[in-house]
Structure 1
Amino acid sequence: MGGPPEMPAPTVTHRDSLTPDLTSDPRDRSDQRDQNDQRDKRDQRDYRAAFAIARLPMALVGRDGRVLEANRALGALLGADPVRLNALAAAELVGLHADERLRAEYADVLAGRSEQLRCTRPVRARDGRTLRAEVTVAPVPGGVLLSVEDLGERHELREQLRHLRMHDPVTKLPNRALFFERLATALDRAAESTGRVGLCYLDLDGFKAINDTLGHRIGDRLLSAVAGRLTDCAARLGRGHHLVARLGGDEFAVLVEGSTGTGQATSLAESVLAALQRPFDLAGQRLAVSASIGVVEREASGTTATGIMQAADTTLYWAKADGKARWTLFDPERNAHRMTRQALSSTLRQAVERGEFVLEYQPLVAMGNGSVRGVEALVRWQHPHFGLLGPNRFISLAEENGSIVQLGRWVLAESCRQARQWQKDYPDDPLFVSVNVAVRQVWDSDLVADVAEILDDTGLPPELLQLELTESAVMGSAGRPLQALHALHEMGVRIAIDDFGTGYSNLAYLSRLPVSTLKLDGSFVHGFRNDQHPNPADETIVEALVQLAHRLGLTVTAECVENAEQAERLRRIGCDTGQGWLYSRPVAPERIAELKGRQAP
């Protein structure tokens, strides 16, 4: 007899990680399924709650294209109870059916062949308006989600955000960004009106003190009050639309579109000054401020927003520098001078290195016999663009930026080299050279070491070098400057006080300083011009100064001698040497040879 058929032996395989564990307890598997079901129900509940209260109109659409469920926002948009929208064709509700291409793309999303449809369609709202809306269709579990966004609301929201972004929160005025936008537009459209624009750029004098002492709350109230007065001034200006803006801090601007000329802009500035001079009553505080105003008015053609603002900023600086609480009108010539100063200042150091400076020499003549006793070295800048510039154009700039130390060292070395050559040419009657020294040369460099090194390099005897310092520079000298002057004097170098009588007029310091010469300022000599109408006071002062100097063992040089009458009177009073156009203008070094030994008129 045959027995029961043999059963195949079970095949043992490795269980995949995704395969349920059949060997585990069935109760555990049941608990896991319950947890998953509860989580799914919770997610669906949260999703439906969010779907129902969302402000964006939405509908869940089945794969057949009919509405399964619509939220309240879509019902409100279409003017129907959301429940009444169920089973309706979603494409007809939002106008997708009217366009063949959109119908095809919509069908692809419903069938799962495409991931999204987004388009702009006209949608009829409940109030009869046709809205321009953005319709989006995207797959979700169980169908697709259709959403409708009113682009008009989006535009309104964008405008609200733009207003917040382009306006100052304290004063509610347009801010810097909007001001520059409007300024650029005004320049572009100026040809449609007068072809001109005006601008008043101002900041408040004394605002920082108010803000620091009374606090930012009072400061903000003051700014708001100022904004109100500026707006009133602009409104009273007359024709055209004028923009008032807060550019930041305590800076404001008033843009005059379609300006009728400089008079209109300056009248506005006058009005603003008068308005701000009236006290402000804020939270029990009576406050007073003023304003400094830069006024620019010009043709719009060829002008940029950046250019006109740079001009306004420069003019505001002038108003501040001129004393505050005033308006100043932009002056192209003054600005050109400022630009030239900046150009010169920025290239001074390189100019010394490039050898762009030259020296001229003006004779110092003995008033007794008219012989040339020495020369004053005067530096000139042979500028590649501006031509030959006198020291009044660049010395103050060199002192401001510190390049005077480098330039002064070059002038000193070149002067000593030239004086040494004259010594060789006239060994029996050598000329001394007088060189101007700036205060910064004493403070910012080792002047004594520089002089010693230059004298050693050139071979010039120290007694043939005279250093000139202004009266105000040596007044009250102490510490390093005084030590330097004494060291130079002990070296044998002469020390002269330039422009004597125009500084502090404290004669006591003469006894403490190692001075050998006083140079009388030209303002005293001017009184000697006309022998028919002499000024007794000038002559008395000069005579007293000369006598004092001589009693102290000093010599006196009279500057700015222009005619023979002056020279004779100064000689009679006792001046030792004279300098001025009567004898010679500053000349090149080779011209000194022509003047050497020539008697003065």
Structure 2
Amino acid sequence: MPLHRLSIRARVEPSLADAVLDALAHPVLTFDDRGEVTLANASAQVYLGGWIVGLTFADLFPGHEPFDRFAASGKEMSLTSKTHARFRGFMGAVGAGARVLSLFPDEAEAPVVVLDEDELTGLLKRNGLHSRLEGAVAATVEGGGRVAVHCIDLDRFKLVNDTLGHGIGDLLLKKVSDRIRSACRKGDGIARIGGDEFVVVQTGVVDPQDAERLATRLVELIGRTYVLSGHTVNIGASVGVAVAEPKNGPRDLLRNADLALYEAKRAGRGRFRVFETGMDAALRDRRELEIDLRRASALKQFDVHYQPFVDLYTNRVIGFEALIRWDHPVRGRVSPVDFIPLAEETGLICKIGEWVLRTACATAMTWPEEMTVAVNISPVQFRSDALVQTVLSALAHSGLPAHRLEIEITEGALLENTANVLATLHALRDLGIKISMDDFGTGYSSLSYLQKFPFNKIKIDRSFVQGADEGGDSEAILKAIAGLGLSLGMAITAEGVETQEQLARIRSEQCTHVQGYFTGRPMSADSISTFLSA
């Protein structure tokens, strides 16, 4: 790539200067006494995405004065020699650190700037991203076109780092960076702004579909398998996209893309979302709900209700499932569908889940001795090494025998760090606790987990039970799951039974247990005695 020369008073042969500067790996810029760029080497052109003409020192380093005025302004610097002044960290706009060399100190020449990139990936840093984005937005105002920002967050990167080590993690980040580069065009800016966070500034966007195509490509490329030093690694990417509107400035774009990323991660891994106006209000609602949730946890505003499950061979209630309830003083009854995901995201689920477990075990001690209590354990709780000890403590304090406790998990608990989760499940089973898989059939790899761990029970998701009324796939899946459980010697609970017809179908498929409004709605602990005696 040729040296980009606007005007320069060269002190060496131009061809030699070109060759030397273009061979440097670091981006190099020089400025005239008016603060305008006079020279940019090949690395600088790549670093700035080709956007060079018209740049000034103030554009790149807002809030800082050109070199020849530093001494007068009293800004801190350290001189390593008469002709070499070094500044580290003051030039936040382009890079997290920048080195400034004065080649012509006697003539008070403006500085030669050598910019530091991300050492690991060679990408822009956070502050360089802001400068690149400001330039791209300004260029669109003058030349037309639009800019899109893509915020990228790697899924399961932490797991790779924790299990395979930081060396493999660094290799993975380099490979991810290469794949992002291959998805982008020459003029696009790419930055790494955190451990596993990247941002792409997409230029030349004609319509939102251009941005969606790039986001699709990023999700697909990053999600492909990696082979790193003999290890096969699979990760994913969540992407939030914001396409610039006339009123949007650089900060607006980054904020909107970040909001879209949050929605993408809420929807599941390996997805992208494009910013929509309503996302702003949704985030405010989420923040308010989080505040209320933290208050509810501190003030113990939750309650536990219990839904019976019935043995279809004896037609007797043999236990209850513990279900958390939250009656907010202003919002009213808040659905677990709304607050449980937020509790998991914020980490509050560990404290809340432990309280539910202890409460359920203590309540179960007031029931007939043959009855069990089932408690849902969140995937987040399985990430804690203290889960087994927490369960042991709950049993010891309540006096509940281990065989009367049933732990329910969803497939989500097994998606991350499967080996550790399986070890925890085996430890719980060894204590005599029953383990069941909840919402069976809704995940993509449920069958493989039945091979890895011998569950005591599988629970057929309510969507198949209720969908079987119309025949088709739901009925076929219901039959298949019931037959599978029967052949493996596992108990089968059908959830969501609400009618006599559904109950009859469940019986005909030889399910062992049933749970639903038809056989008993969730009830308070105080209502159980009356229910059992009715």
Distance 1:554 1:387, change over 3 A: same
Q: Is the 8 A contact 1:408 1:437 kept in 2?
A: yes
Give the Cα separation in 1 of the matches to 2:423 and 2:392. Answer: 15
- Which of 214, 228, 233 is the aligned partner of 2:139? 228
Tell me, what secondary structure is at the counterpart of 2:518?
coil
Aligned to 2:382: 442
Q: Is the 8 A contact 1:467 1:495 kept in 2?
A: yes
Q: Which amino acid aligns with 1:497?
A: M
- Which of 433, 456, 467 is the aligned partner of 2:407? 467
- 2:408 aligned with 1:497, yes or no? no
What's the offset of the Cα at 1:329? 3.7
What's the offset of the Cα at 1:375? 1.4
- 2:491 aligned with 1:542, yes or no? no
Tell me, what secondary structure is at the counterpart of 1:529?
helix
Residues 321-364 of structure 1 show CA distances to partners (whole Å, capped at 9, x for unaligned) of 66999964412xx4333223223335645532311211122221
Aligned to 1:481: 421
Q: Is the 8 A contact 1:366 1:577 kept in 2?
A: yes
Residues 243-272 of structure 1 show CA distances to partners (whole Å, capped at 9, x for unaligned) of xxxxx99999xxxxxxxxxxxxxxx99668
User: What TM-score do the two structures reach when normalised by structure 2?
Assistant: 0.54
Q: Which amino acid aligns with 1:542?
A: L
Tell me, what secondary structure is at the counterpart of 1:377?
strand
- 2:277 aligned with 1:330, yes or no? yes
Q: Is the 8 A contact 1:489 1:514 kept in 2?
A: no
What's the offset of the Cα at 1:585? 3.3
Give the Cα separation in 2 of the matches to 1:273 and 1:548. Answer: 45
Aligned to 2:326: 381
Alignment of 1:208-287 (within 5 A): 227-233=138-144
Aligned to 1:564: 500
Distance 1:460 1:325, change over 3 A: closer
Give the Cα separation in 1 of the matches to 2:514 and 2:441. Answer: 16
What's the offset of the Cα at 1:543? 2.5
Distance 1:343 1:573, change over 3 A: same
Tell me, what secondary structure is at the counterpart of 2:374?
strand
- 2:348 aligned with 1:394, yes or no? no
Percent identity at matched positions? 32
What's the offset of the Cα at 1:225? 7.1
Residues 42-89 of structure 1 show CA distances to partners (whole Å, capped at 9, x for unaligned) of xxxxxxxxxxxxxxxxxxxxxxxxxxxxxxxxxxxxxxxxxxxxxxxx
Aligned to 1:315: 256
- 2:237 aligned with 1:293, yes or no? no
How many pairs were matched up?
351
Q: Is the 8 A contact 2:242 2:254 kept in 1?
A: no
Give the Cα separation in 2 of the matches to 1:275 and 1:472. Answer: 31
Q: Is the 8 A contact 1:562 1:581 kept in 2?
A: yes
Q: Is the 8 A contact 2:376 2:407 kept in 1?
A: yes
Distance 1:325 1:545, change over 3 A: closer
What's the offset of the Cα at 1:373? 2.0
Distance 1:419 1:324, change over 3 A: closer
- 2:508 aligned with 1:581, yes or no? no
Distance 1:294 1:376, change over 3 A: farther
What's the offset of the Cα at 1:486? 2.0
Residues 498-525 of structure 1 show CA distances to partners (whole Å, capped at 9, x for unaligned) of 1111224353542442421100112221
What's the offset of the Cα at 1:434? 0.7
Distance 1:578 1:314, change over 3 A: farther
What's the offset of the Cα at 1:553? 2.3
Distance 1:215 1:296, change over 3 A: closer
Alignment of 1:68-107 (within 5 A): none
Q: Is the 8 A contact 1:546 1:573 kept in 2?
A: yes
Give the Cα separation in 1 of the matches to 2:484 and 2:213. Answer: 54
Residues 278-337 of structure 1 show CA distances to partners (whole Å, capped at 9, x for unaligned) of 9xxxxxxxxxxx994357899xxxxxx9xx998765433345566999964412xx4333
Larger radius of gyration: 1
Moved more, 395-404 or 460-469: 395-404
Q: Is the 8 A contact 1:379 1:390 kept in 2?
A: no
Tell me, what secondary structure is at the counterpart of 2:521?
coil
Distance 1:594 1:274, change over 3 A: same
Q: Is the 8 A contact 1:497 1:517 kept in 2?
A: yes
Moved more, 341-350 or 409-418: 341-350
Distance 1:274 1:432, change over 3 A: closer
Q: Is the 8 A contact 2:211 2:241 kept in 1?
A: no
Distance 1:213 1:441, change over 3 A: closer
Alignment of 1:32-181 (within 5 A): none
Q: Is the 8 A contact 1:230 1:272 kept in 2?
A: no
Tell me, what secondary structure is at the counterpart of 1:583?
coil
Distance 1:487 1:392, change over 3 A: same
What's the offset of the Cα at 1:578? 1.5
Distance 1:311 1:541, change over 3 A: same
Structure 2's unaligned 5+ residue stretches are 1-33, 36-47, 63-116, 147-189, 192-198, 215-238, 265-269
Give the Cα separation in 2 of the matches to 1:566 and 1:432. Answer: 25
User: What TM-score do the two structures reach when normalised by structure 1?
Assistant: 0.48
Aligned to 1:523: 463
Q: Is the 8 A contact 2:382 2:413 kept in 1?
A: no
Give the Cα separation in 1 of the matches to 2:241 and 2:295. Answer: 37
- Which of 306, 316, 321 is the aligned partner of 1:371? 316
Distance 1:329 1:595, change over 3 A: same
Tell me, what secondary structure is at the counterpart of 2:320?
strand
Give the Cα separation in 1 of the matches to 2:257 and 2:315. Answer: 53
Q: Is the 8 A contact 1:295 1:330 kept in 2?
A: no
Q: Which amino acid aligns with 2:242?
A: I
What's the offset of the Cα at 1:170? 5.2
Tell me, what secondary structure is at the counterpart of 2:321?
strand
Tell me, what secondary structure is at the counterpart of 1:584?
coil
- 2:527 aligned with 1:591, yes or no? yes
Q: Which amino acid aligns with 1:484?
A: T
Q: Which amino acid aligns with 2:256?
A: T
Give the Cα separation in 1 of the matches to 2:424 and 2:241. Answer: 45
- Which of 395, 401, 422 is the aligned partner of 1:455? 395
Distance 1:406 1:213, change over 3 A: closer
Residues 444-479 of structure 1 show CA distances to partners (whole Å, capped at 9, x for unaligned) of 142222222211211112222110011342368754
Q: Is the 8 A contact 1:292 1:316 kept in 2?
A: yes
Give the Cα separation in 1 of the matches to 2:212 and 2:442. Answer: 41
Give the Cα separation in 1 of the matches to 2:259 and 2:517. Answer: 36
